[in-house]
A and B are shown apart, each in its own frame.
Chain A
Amino acid sequence: MPTSSHSNPEPVRDDADATPPSTGPLQQAGPSLSNQPSAPEAIGPTMAPRTPPAAQQAVATGLDVDGATRASALSNIQYVVDLADSVVCIADDLHERILQEIASYNGRTMPDTQKALMRALTDDELLLRQYAHALYADAATFVVHDLAAPQHRLMALTTEAAEKIRRIRVISEVTGLVGGILSLVGSIARGQFSQVGAALEKIQGHNAALKTLKPGLLAKT
């Protein structure tokens, strides 16, 4: 009888809701980036206050996972798929950027520190892809809850971020931006909408910081 395989009546929801905030992606994104030299990281804290207006707004509009006010079910799973697609796009751009950097050595031996940076960025790329997987799984199981306003802002922002990744000249500058994106996508994938605002602020901060930097030459030794 099929009942035996359905002993847990709502496994997907349980799973999505069970994630404690303490293991959130903001914390998770930290370790992979902490060992990387990154100028924008230093700018980060000043640009991302603990409770940015966007986060407060997200909570105020009932988009947080906590409580019964969680917004109604997503009416169109295509939104989720589009979101996952845009995460894939960012991962693709990051991948291209990594390959470009490697190719720029053109047969010369890459210093170990630079190799380590490439590997750390590759890890970030794979992590992004896992978040895309998580979103696809959500779309497939029709359990994603309404992302509404954050989702629209997010789509615009991810497009912008992808564009940035393509254009950034100094590879180490990508790190901070990718860290922000990871936090953002992780928050969405885990339904922790209260953290979306903070993550958005962080990315915007990085973007602003990057605009002020003059495109430099690739960091080679």
Chain B
Amino acid sequence: MARRVLVLVGLLVAGCASTGQVSLGEVREFADASARLGGYAELSRRYRDTYERELPYLSPQAERVARDTDTRRRAVFDDFVAIQKTLVLYMQTLSLLAGDGRYDLSGRIDDLAGGLNAMTDSELKQRHVAAYAGMTRLLTRVITSRYQNRSVDTMVRDGNADVQTLIDAMIVLTRIYEKANESEQKTVLGVFNAEIPMTNRNADRMLVTLAKVHLQNKTAEYKLIDRRYKLAQQGLTKVALGHQKMRENMDQLSSAETRHMLAGYVSDLNLIRNALSGE
């Protein structure tokens, strides 16, 4: 509630400062909240490190398959993160255009030089790589040409399709991370669910107790992490929707309705971010 009031006050101030121009305070707030969302990068790292966590539970044969998969996960990790970095940079740039220059982006140009390398050979990938390249071009143009005088809506118009595609890729990936995590959970917990009841309780009392404690801890750990996948997906969906709405309402950004709508997305994104950071 308090946060909502604060946002509204912020909007009023921003509205006054814009002196009759299109009010961009909400755009900036939305871009900032989108850039700070979090979740995806952490879950990408967790996905990359699946093998290490599973290793103690695997038979030699399963381990061989797992090691193979591990190599493949690691090979594409940089690309998965590059997608997110680009989106964050886009949002920071948008915030810069809409606000008073709180980011120095000149140093970030180097981040864009890499491109996506490991993804090859698929129709879907072509679409995502094209979006990535398009986004890179747009950002380079915006950052290097001081296009403060060009309007925010040019950026939103030019960027929307690629933003949608990149977020789509991130959501698809987050869903896959979630499934991999489920599978990992069943591997880790499953071993104990089978072994504990088979163990002779009198002979191995200490062992059974230790196993039960371990099982308890692991169950709690997975319960916590489970939530984060849904939260990350919700956040990404909000960013995609918010940007889409912004694009659709570019002509009427200063209308109370549009501003209220954007403020709603900002509020949602902040809530999700707080939930992700453990509040």
Interface residues of A (CB under 8 A from B): 1-3, 5-6, 8-13, 15-16, 28, 31-32, 73-77, 81, 84-85, 88, 91-92, 95, 98-99, 102-103, 109-110, 115, 118-119, 122-123, 125-127, 129-134, 136-145, 186, 189
Given contacts A2-B113, A99-B194, contact A126 B62 (CB under 8 A): yes
Q: B168 → chain A, closest Cβ, in Å?
A: 12
Chain B interface residues toward A at CB < 8 A: 47, 50, 57-59, 61-62, 64-66, 68-69, 71-73, 75-76, 78, 80, 82, 110-111, 113-115, 117-125, 128, 172-173, 175-177, 179-180, 182-184, 186-187, 190-191, 193-194, 197-198, 200
Majority-rule SS of B interface residues: helix
Question: Would you give 27 A-B contacts (Cβ < 8 Å), ordered by A?
Answer: A2-B82, A2-B114, A9-B118, A10-B118, A11-B118, A13-B120, A73-B124, A76-B124, A81-B175, A81-B179, A91-B186, A95-B186, A99-B194, A123-B61, A123-B62, A126-B190, A127-B65, A129-B186, A129-B187, A133-B66, A133-B180, A133-B184, A136-B176, A140-B177, A141-B72, A142-B119, A142-B122
Give Cα distance in the complex from A47 to B177, angstroms. 39
CA distance A65 to B128 in the complex (A): 25
Contact A127 B59 (CB under 8 A): yes
Q: Are B78 and A5 in contact (CB under 8 A)?
A: yes
In contact, B173 and A11 (Cβ under 8 angstroms)? no
When distances are taken between beta carbons in the complex, the residues of chain A under 8 Å from B186 are: 88, 91-92, 95, 129
Closest to A132 in B: B183
Residues in B neighbouring A12, C-beta threshold 8 A: 72, 75-76, 118, 120
